[in-house]
């Protein structure tokens, strides 16, 4: 492996760019191809297919064997609320391979000391999400249970089609939330996508255990794409 | 110990770069093909230095030992190697995959 390729590959991964490391298994030569780079012929077609599916694999082109290692940006997790659960969930989710962003306008909560190593925005979600909009490759977890903070990002997440949307709060809190989102003009079927009570039903009893329940539900949504089929954690 | 350090040791390609920048000889092993129930998907990396330190995984523990010893040869010769592991071949008795799958692992030196 070319040392420069290793450096460029790691830089692209840090910048959330989609790239493929192409290795000629015959002579060991390699190069990095960015999404959108023009590559001619059958290899170009194989690269295009690999970017589309996100799957790494071998490609035989004109009698030569290439290995295409696809690196697409990891799924993102946006956490609304720099609370105790988030202090555990953020590093756990980063270990699981997610790009994590924590948003909380309450500067007493959103301190670098409480979130060492985690990307943190001490702004209102209205402002923070303007710079980094939600998308289908993002999971949104709202854990402040303050409607002033949680409602806007929940609505944005439903509109952007986030692959997972979860909100902390009791059944009563969630019922009131459903009413508010309905009044804001969102269809009941859309509001039904919100996982609430949040997290898998594993009997989680404290913030770290609740973080495990939430992360497991996010992974299930990412890998199985059936969040509705996963039983919800029963929250008091 | 910060979380940042933990995360870097979990990312084999980041580990390979930091070892390389520290002047260490490094080999990168990559799963290029799998058949049946393989423990790690195509594209997974194990990185190894000349002293046998390693990060990442290509099989979840079944064949890492064999890959690490092959990597020592690859680091000294500079010649990449393709390794096959599975239950069907003789090496299965020593380092086979208990899950019954087969994997092909490409091992190359950095630089």
pLDDT tens for each residue of B16-56: 999 999 999 999 999 999 988 788 899 999 999 999 999 99
Q: β-strand A138-142 against A76-80: which pairing, if any?
A: parallel
What is the rounded distance in angstroms from the CA atom of residue A208 to the CA atom of residue A197?
16
- More confident site: B9 or A143: A143
For residue A98, give the chain B residue with the closest CA. B7
| Start-end of H helices in chain B | 3-10, 12-21, 64-77, 92-95
What is the pLDDT at residue A43? 96
Low-confidence ranges of chain A (pLDDT < 50): 226-236
What is the pLDDT at residue A177? 97
Question: Is A2 within 8 Å of chain B by CB?
Answer: yes
What is the pLDDT at residue B98? 63
Question: At residue A131, what are phi and psi to the nearest 5 degrees?
Answer: -75, -35
Q: Give the relative orientation of helices A207-224 and A84-95 as an angle to the nearest 10 degrees.
A: 40
Give yes or no for residue B10 having a pLDDT over 90: no
| CB-CB contact of B57 with B40 (8 Å) | yes
What is the pLDDT at residue A179? 97
What is the pLDDT at residue B87? 57
Give yes or no for residue B97 having a pLDDT over 80: no
Token pair, residue A73, equals 């940006």
What is the pLDDT at residue A136? 86
Interfacial B residues in 64-83 facing A (CB < 8 Å) = 80, 82
What is the pLDDT at residue B39? 82
Give yes or no for residue B83 having a pLDDT over 90: yes
What is the pLDDT at residue B90? 52
Give the DSSP H or E segment for A59. Answer: strand A57-61
Which residues contact residue B46 at a Cβ distance below 8 angstroms, ignoring those fewer than 6 apart?
B12, B28, B29, B54, B55, B56, B57, B58, B64, B67, B68, B105
Give yes or no for residue B91 having a pLDDT over 60: no
Contacts of B32 in chain A (CB under 8 A): 25, 57-58, 67
Average pLDDT, stretch B46-70?
Answer: 92
What is the pLDDT at residue B8? 65
What is the pLDDT at residue A235? 36
Token pair, residue A206, equals 């404290």
What is the rounded distance in angstroms from the CA atom of residue A201 to the CA atom of residue A205?
11
Q: Which of B7, B32, B110 sits opposite A67 (nearest CB)?
A: B32
Class of the A76-229 domain? alpha beta
Q: Please indicate whether, in this complex, the C-beta atoms of A67 and B30 are within 8 angstroms of each other.
A: yes
ipTM above 0.90, yes or no: no
Average pLDDT, stretch B7-14?
Answer: 82
What is the pLDDT at residue B96? 60
| CB-CB contact of A82 with A57 (8 Å) | no
Domain with CATH 3.40.50.720 in chain A: 76-229
| CB-CB contact of A84 with A207 (8 Å) | yes
């Amino acid at each position: 492996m070319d040392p420069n390729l290793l450096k460029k590959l790691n830089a692209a991964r840090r910048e959330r760019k989609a790239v493929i490391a192409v290795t000629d298994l015959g002579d060991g030569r390699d190069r990095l191809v960015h999404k959108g780079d023009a590559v001619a012929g059958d290899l170009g077609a194989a690269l295009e297919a690999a970017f589309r599916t996100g799957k790494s694999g071998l490609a035989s082109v004109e009698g030569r064997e290439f290995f295409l290692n696809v690196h697409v940006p990891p799924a993102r997790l946006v956490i609304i609320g720099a609370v105790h659960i988030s202090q555990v969930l953020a590093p756990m989710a980063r270990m699981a391979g997610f790009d994590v962003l924590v948003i909380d306008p309450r500067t007493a909560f959103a301190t670098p000391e409480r979130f060492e190593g985690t990307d943190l925005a001490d702004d209102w979600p209205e402002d923070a999400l303007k710079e980094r909009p939600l998308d289908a490759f993002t999971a949104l977890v709202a854990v402040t249970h303050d409607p002033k903070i949680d409602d806007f990002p929940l609505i944005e997440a439903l509109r952007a089609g986030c692959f997972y949307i979860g909100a902390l709060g009791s059944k009563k809190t969630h019922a009131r939330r459903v009413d508010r989102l309905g009044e804001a003009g969102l269809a009941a079927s859309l509001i039904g996508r919100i996982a609430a009570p949040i997290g898998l039903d594993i009997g989680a009893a404290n913030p770290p255990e609740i973080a495990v329940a939430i992360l497991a539900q996010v992974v299930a949504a990412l890998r199985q794409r059936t969040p509705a089929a996963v039983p919800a954690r029963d929250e008091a | 110990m910060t979380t940042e350090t933990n995360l870097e040791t979990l990312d084999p390609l980041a580990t390979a770069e930091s070892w390389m920048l520290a002047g260490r000889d490094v080999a990168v092993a990559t799963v290029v093909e799998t058949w049946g129930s393989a423990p790690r998907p195509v594209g997974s990396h194990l990185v190894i230095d000349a002293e046998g330190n390693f990060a990442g995984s290509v099989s979840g523990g079944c064949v890492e030992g064999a890959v690490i010893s092959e990597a020592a040869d690859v680091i000294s010769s500079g010649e990449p190697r393709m390794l096959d592991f599975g239950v069907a071949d003789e090496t299965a008795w020593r380092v086979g995959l208990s899950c019954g799958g087969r994997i092909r692992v490409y091992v190359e030196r950095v630089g």
